[in-house]
Each structure stands twice: as structure tokens, then as C-alpha cells.
Amino acid sequence: MDSPNLPTELLRTFITVIDLGGYTKAGAVIGRTQPAVSLQMRRLEEMLDAKLIHQVGRTLQLTEQGEMLAVYARRILCLNDEAVARFRRQMTAGVLRIGLPTDYAVAFLQGMMTEYAVHHPEVELEIRCELSRELLDDLQKDELDIVIAMTGEGVGQYLAREWVEQPIWATAGHVSVHKESPVPIVVHPEGCEYRNRITQALNAANRDWRVAYCSPGISGLQNAVLAGLGVSALTKRTLLDGMKVLSEKDGFPTLADIRVGLYYKHPRQSDAGVRLVNHIISGLDGAGGPEFKRPQRR
């Protein structure tokens, strides 16, 4: 039996419903009545033979199958909209507000943003670097258009792509601060996933610790580590010459993975935003970077 083709109009309705949180609001955006939106959702579920959304009180929640489809639907709609824009020669001018965690602002995503800006000078990029939870809040409030965020647990709303980072312990190669008790740590402010991983791992290993340096910026952490102020958790992309990686042999247990996601609201995304989303996804795939991993059910 041949696989059915998923109509983009049904996928667009599905994404609009979950992004706006209701059938009536979605209908107002796509120009359909609430019953028509409900009928489209039933058609999509029948095509896939899967329940996608269920009602909990007055709130719509995605099922596990719905979360999986949402990721694919955003990618399909992105490619569809970019193809249409290219043939219709739509203008991509405008302002895009991008939210990045500090690690990604100085790593390979910064290169992606720069490359996009060179090829699309008509688009103004406004890049904000903050804690991931603040970036996701700003996306929810429509103060940002596209966000890269690190999360402790899977955050499915607005998620287009998800991958995993493995934090690593780092200290300066010329010092032995990792042998001190309590262990001096170099961290971001509270709420940072890297900080959570550090304290959880040290607590589990029954090692006392103290905060020796705290900064919201990654460059501040890197300089503090190189200066020998303490131990921190970094990634391979933010590890610098002069740093030493610590392992279980040094008394530092493996740090838990961190989920990283690309988030945006498709129904309200501009053509310029769609192109940037596809540019980021293509860069992730082409760089041999983190492989796609579907979000787990929360």
C-alpha cells in the first residue's frame, strides 16, 4: 500500500492550532471557521491513524505522536514556504529577532548568522543572548522570532529541531584547583543548565563545592578557567587551548546531556525567518553536527 501524501494545508492548520493553543484562534489566522478547523484535524488524524491532540480542561495538549508530527510538519512547511517564495521572488526584507544562549553566540551558530547576513543584507538581525528559559519566555510573548535554547527536559511547544550536547569538565592545564576541597566552580547564574549539571554531579559524588566565579557570558567563564580560578563545564566548541579536560579518574563524574532545540512560531514567521530556519537546519546537517532527535513525551 502506498504511503499517503500529507497535504500542507492540513499540516499548516495543525501547527497553527498548537502554536496558538486553540481551534478558534487558529481559524481566525488561516481564514476558516472553528468547525472547519476541527474537521481538518480529524482528517489529518485519520490519514495517520493516530491521535495528535487531546483536551485537558481548557488546554490542548499534544500526544506523543502529535509531538513527533509537529517537528516534521514545521520542516515540511519551512521547505514549502521557501520554495514558493523563491519562485514568486518574494522579498525577504525585514527584522529578525534571534535569541541565543551564550555558548552558541560564540560557537558555530554565530558563523551561520554571519553567513546568512552576508547573503541577505536586506534583513536586519537583532541577536539577544540570555539564559534559555528567558529566551523561551520572550518567544512566547512574541518578543523574539527564532530561539536556540537549552533545556533540562524536552520542551515541545514551537520545537522545530532538537539535538543533544555533552558537557565536559574543564580546568586550566597549569593548576590543580580540581583537587581542592571544596571544589571551586566557575558558572553562569542560577537557572543555567550547565550550572545545574555541575552542582548535581558534584552533589551525587559527595564532593563539596563553592562558587568561585559567576558570569552570564561564556568569555568570562573561559577567562576565569584559564586564570585558574576554578572548574567549569564547557563543550568541545568552547574548550580553549590551555584548558585540561577532567574525567572520572580525576574525581569528576560524567555530566548529564543537555537538550538543545530550535524554536519558532511558524504561523507568524516571515519569509526571511523561514529562510533563516532552513539555513540553520542545513548548517547543522552539513556540519556533521548533532543528529536530529525527536522530542520525548513530557
Q: What is the pLDDT of residue 295?
A: 39
User: Between the CA atoms of 24, 29, 30 and 31, what dihedral angle is there, to the nearest 10 degrees?
Assistant: 70
The confidence score (pLDDT) of residue 287 equals 47
Q: Quickly state the pLDDT bin for 155 (edges 50, 70, 90).
A: low
Under the banding of pLDDT at 50, 70 and 90, the label for residue 213 is very high
Least confident range from 82-91, 98-107, 178-187, 212-221: namely 82-91
189: nearest Cα among 131, 106, 237, 232: 131
For residue 278, CA distances in Å to 40, 75, 270 come to 26, 8, 13
Partners of 138 in the beta sheet?
none
Dmax (CA) of the chain: 68
Q: What CA–CA distance (Å, rounded) separates 98 from 23?
A: 28
Whole-number pLDDT of residue 193: 87
Residue 250 has pLDDT above 70, yes or no: yes
Provide, rounded to the nearest whole percent, the portion of the chain with pLDDT above 70.
89
Under the banding of pLDDT at 50, 70 and 90, the label for residue 91 is low
* C-alpha cell at position 54: 487531546
Reported as a single tens digit per residue, the pLDDT across 7-43 is 999 999 999 898 888 888 888 888 889 999 999 999 9
User: pLDDT-based confidence at 294, cuts 50/70/90?
Assistant: very low
**pLDDT surpassing 50 at residue 59:** yes
Q: What is the pLDDT of residues 121-151, one digit of tens each?
A: 888 999 888 888 889 999 989 899 999 998 8
pLDDT at 154: 60
What pLDDT score does 164 carry? 85
The answer on pLDDT for 51 being more than 90 is yes
Residue 188 pLDDT greater than 60, yes or no:
yes
Nearest partner of 260 among 169, 168, 147, judged by Cα: 147
Return the residue matching grid coordinates 552539513.
286
Q: Contact, 136 vs 263, CB < 8 A?
A: yes
293 pLDDT band (50/70/90 cuts)? very low
pTM for the complete prediction? Answer: 0.74
* Mean pLDDT, the chain, integer: 85
pLDDT at 145: 92
User: Which grid cell sits at 60?
Assistant: 490542548
Least confident stretch, 83-92, 107-116, 219-228: 83-92
What does the pLDDT read at residue 106?
Answer: 65
**Average pLDDT rounded to a whole number, residues 240-261:** 92
Q: Is the dihedral angle over the CA atoms 194, 196, 201, 202 positive or is it negative? A: positive
Position 292 scores a pLDDT of 36
DSSP-assigned letter for residue 174: T
